[in-house]
Chain A
Amino acid sequence: MTSNDGLADDPLADDRPAGGDRPADDRPAGDDVVLRLAGVVKTFPGVRALDGVRLEVRAGEVHCLLGQNGAGKSTLIKVLSGVYRPDDGDIVWQGRHVHLANPQAAMKAGIATIYQELDLVDDLSVAENIYIGQEPHRAGFVRRGEMRRGAGEILTRLGHPEIPVGAEVGRLPAAAKQIVSMGRALSRDAKLLIMDEPSAVLAQDEVSNLFRVVRDLTAQGIAVIYISHRLEEVREIGDRVTVLKDGRTSAVNLDARSTPTRDLVSRMTGRTIEYVFPPRPPEPTRRGEPLLLVDRITRRGEFEDVSLTIHSGEIVGIAGLVGSGRSELLETIYGARRPDAGRVLSNGRPLRPGDVAAAVRAGLGMAPEERKSQALLLGEPVYRNITLATFRRFAAAGFTRSARERAAAAAVADGLQLRPRDVDRAVGTLSGGNQQKVVVGRWLLGDVSLLLLDEPTRGVDVGARAELYQMIRRLADDGVGILLVSSEVPEVLGLSDRVLVMREGRLVHQASAEELDEDSVLDLVMAGSLLEGDRV
């Protein structure tokens, strides 16, 4: 495992190898390489999710994949498991070029994926789940006895013979479900197991158990691609590490144990895209009482004991990983979820918990994370989407006034440089960035005094980002308070006046944006290996 392959700094897309004719690159032991990716590209409208990815996985190793949110890890997994087809690049699997046309093809080839959201059928038994789609049968009848026996053997092999093969999967704890999911992979003779943040749903002792199973598997020659945000896990279970950044491989085949944390973190960060952030006002513009006061709110299992304040004209950013409770916190403040404890005060008056309409009346607005499922009526015209929260204000005696709505929406579209600037077009026909402008633009109408923005630039291209940033800053200059959640640390740092760092449902640090840099925020977000900051 001497990993001297080093870091690939040059743009990988440029030296994309033609076919499999690159023998000089491999070490003598290269014949145990089961999977090799070179120059893999995958684009979506407006986004280049993978932009020349390189990856090499050997039999019997645990290969860790690191990268920030949006670096392309999920897309890469989906390419490997046949969900997406790459636009370009080579996938060499067990020495042969392959095209994984669909998930079934990937499974047949021996690549099994264990998603974070396990794809188990809750109402079926353990044995049925393990053999789903390939039940042992004779003359069309499932051979139940054989299936149970086989499932039992597989679970024993995984070191968990205690899981009852006849039990309904929905009643099992998360850790056992994961074992069942791995059992399914084994039943299909998988040679490569892709695990997407498997530890996220597990308790500490369950994680060590999982690691034992993973080691058993690799001892049997099965390769594992392991994705995790937790560096200490990578240290413990990983053999080699590949780092993704902005859809590119920024480092390949680092040694998982000896590479310094600084190196890993700096490979994940750094700039390739130049963000254009509007300048901050010279001094913090806190005027008087806080616009919003969140007082120790808790939702069990999501976040705990969170307090924060936002003043008029202030942009407060929350940095944290997906699953750290950021979005849930925002939705709870907004009344879309009901807190178990604590309260939210707007302008000194408590907001009724779990009541969005009350929050909107109090001047709150939210641009949710999932614009398609949570924010837009895709078949409806742009102007109706922009006025979705305000059409009642335009209306007279219950009758809508489309002309006035159009005019107001057109003014918003102008301000946001919506393209095409046509408010009668169905919003579903716009690009992602322009759809996002519509979502945010909705709250430019009416009297919003506090805007909650959840990933406002996800899937938005660079030019549109700059426009959104300027718009957000202009709103703050006009006295609106803004609470911003983003997975992109540079965005939080560049746009906010004040930054809150969230990890595993708690606010662990608070500082002025100038005092923080990307590395220190990532350290806080990722590990807990560094000392924690002051509790907020």
Chain B
Amino acid sequence: MTAGTGPTTNEPTTNGPTTNGPTTNGPTTNGPTTNGPTTNEAVPSGRPGSPAPGLRWVAGEPVKRTLGLVAVLVALLVVGAVTRPDIFGDTSKLWQNELTVLTLASAIGIVTVGMTFVMIGGGIDLSVGALLALASVWCTTVATQSYGVGGVIFSALAVGAGAGFVNGLLISYGRLVPFIATLAMMVAARGLAQKISGSRTQINHVSLINDLASEKILGVPYIVLVFAVVVALGWVLLNRTTFGRRTVAVGGNAEAARLAGINTRRHTVLLYALSGLCCGIAALVVVAQTTSGSNTNGDLYELNAIAAAIIGGTALAGGRGTIVGSLVGVLIFSQIANLFTVNNLPTETQRIVNGAIIVGAVLIQQFRLADLRRRPKLST
């Protein structure tokens, strides 16, 4: 039995001599629970080459990247403090200002959560802005409003998810490239929104929806809470459910996922439906903020959401990305916009800065990954 196991292990029966229980625990899991079940206290401890540093480094990579982004966010606040000390130096004014930032970030942030899922799953969704517009128009027609708040919410979510579902079917079963399928949906959905609304702004009279923006709980507008809930649910979905695991598998190596028995096509459909659902939620937020639905809503949201996800560390090729990273990405753009507003600077310059931020963030990440690849392949 023990033939040929090599000279490195002289006690083949002793399990895992290198494992030192608690260090194998990822930084994200709290509590060592049932870790290292077979590790007994035999402690051979003969091996000097502990894998722990390498492990920490690899496991901590997304965390590090996110921390770097948070540092950028803090730096932006410092810039604010320098340029407008009257706002950023005063606690209550700062609080109000940051709530404004979060409010403005809500709709695009919700869209970005859906986009992050699609991108981790190896796709892209260019139709999100148009779907938001379509859902906002659909749920504010006179007919829909006559059904009351339930009708408005249902139609917004159903239109978004339904259109996303169509995207997914075209991509999965029609074998269209995601770029093409969602580009077509972007054009068509925007057109449909225009047709339904007659290019007019439709005032929303359902007060419960409008209250989402105007009413607050503990000083926080409801739509910011909606944003927070979507982000939290997104995080749980990605990190703690089989759905999330499948998403990473499908995007990271579709063939491997398929050969492991995962229904990659069905999952792809669900991912686009999820993105569409997020557009529907975002549409409600926009309707609440503007008390109206319009076919011009969500303009360029697809690009902003992709940009936020990318600087948050989501891989365009799929298989990698975090909800927290995307969230911080959205907040960075939102905070920059805020800084330009409070300093009365032109938005033209802001766009140039945004472009520079995207390039800078991606460049830094590529260098990080290059480091990762340069690490020696053989570990012992």
Which chain A residues have a beta carbon within 8 Å of chain B's beta carbons?
Answer: 45-46, 276, 334, 336, 356-357, 359-361, 366, 368, 373-381, 384, 388-389, 391-392, 395, 398-400, 402-404, 406-407, 410-411, 413-414, 417, 419-426, 429-431, 442, 462-463, 465-467, 470
Contacts and interface: CB of A to CB of B under 8 A. Distances in A.
Q: Tell me which of A336, A398, A462, A465 has the highest count of chain B C-beta atoms within 10 A of its own C-beta.
A: A398
Interface string B231-253: 00000000011111100110011
A145 to B, nearest CB: 38
B97 interface: no
Contact of B18 (A373, A400, A421): A421
A359 B378 CA distance: 34
B242 A392 contact: yes
Given A379-B319, A400-B241, A425 B377 contact: no
The 10 closest A-B pairs by CB, nearest first: A466-B4, A360-B261, A463-B6, A276-B4, A389-B260, A377-B252, A420-B51, A421-B16, A388-B260, A403-B33
Contacts of A400: 240-242, 244-245
Given A419-B8, A421-B18, A430-B379, A276 B3 contact: yes
B190 interface: no
Q: Tell me which of A384, A398, A429 has the highest count of chain B C-beta atoms within 10 A of its own C-beta.
A: A429
A334 B259 contact: yes
A463 B4 contact: yes
Contacts of A462: 4
B59 A407 contact: no
B38 interface: yes
Interface in B1-57: 1, 3-6, 8-9, 12, 15-19, 24-26, 29, 33-38, 49, 51, 54-55
B158 to A, nearest CB: 22
B258 A336 contact: yes
Contacts of B257: 388
A356 B5 CA distance: 34
Contacts of A379: 252, 319-320
B284 to A, nearest CB: 25
B255 interface: yes
Nearest to B20: A422
B353 interface: no
Given A357-B263, A376-B256, A425-B379, A417 B245 contact: no
A388 B54 contact: no
26 contacts: A356-B258, A356-B261, A374-B253, A374-B256, A375-B256, A377-B249, A377-B253, A378-B252, A379-B252, A380-B252, A388-B249, A388-B257, A392-B242, A399-B241, A407-B37, A410-B16, A410-B36, A420-B51, A420-B379, A422-B18, A425-B55, A429-B377, A430-B377, A431-B379, A442-B260, A467-B5
A429 B57 CA distance: 12
Contacts of B34: 403-404, 406-407
Chain B facing A: main interface SS? loop
B253 A424 contact: no
B262 interface: yes
A417 B12 contact: yes
Contacts of B17: 421
Nearest to B31: A403
B13 to A, nearest CB: 10
B15 A414 contact: yes
Contact of B261 (A361, A419, A420): A361
A374 B259 contact: yes
A420 B25 CA distance: 15
B326 to A, nearest CB: 18
Nearest to A381: B59
Given A374-B259, A400-B245, A466-B5, A426 B58 contact: yes
Contacts of B343: none
Nearest to A358: B261
A467 B9 CA distance: 12
Contacts of B25: 424
Contacts of A360: 260-261
Interface of B: 1, 3-6, 8-9, 12, 15-19, 24-26, 29, 33-38, 49, 51, 54-55, 58-59, 240-245, 248-249, 252-253, 255-263, 319-320, 375, 377-380
A467 B4 CA distance: 7
B55 A422 contact: yes
A445 to B, nearest CB: 11
B35 A45 contact: no
A407 B18 contact: no
A389 B55 contact: no
Contacts of B24: 406, 422-424
A366 B258 CA distance: 11
A535 to B, nearest CB: 31
A388 B37 CA distance: 21
Nearest to B3: A276
B379 A391 contact: no
A411 B51 contact: no
Contacts of A392: 242
Given A381-B59, A411-B37, 15 more contacts: A388-B257, A388-B262, A389-B260, A400-B241, A400-B245, A403-B33, A410-B38, A417-B5, A424-B24, A424-B25, A424-B26, A429-B377, A430-B379, A431-B379, A463-B4
B37 A410 contact: yes
A421 B19 contact: yes
Contact of A420 (B15, B35, B249, B380): B380
Nearest to A367: B259
A232 to B, nearest CB: 37
A141 to B, nearest CB: 34
Contacts of B1: 470
Contacts of B15: 414
Nearest to A411: B38
Contact of B259 (A368, A381, A429): A368
A45 B377 contact: yes
A45 B6 CA distance: 18
B377 A398 contact: no
A404 B35 CA distance: 8
A437 to B, nearest CB: 13
Contacts of B54: 425, 429
A422 B51 contact: yes
A315 B20 CA distance: 37
Contact of B380 (A378, A391, A419, A423): A419
A154 B15 CA distance: 66
A380 B247 CA distance: 12
A375 B262 contact: no
A71 to B, nearest CB: 22
A459 B248 CA distance: 27
Contacts of B18: 420-422
B5 A398 contact: no
A400 B29 CA distance: 13
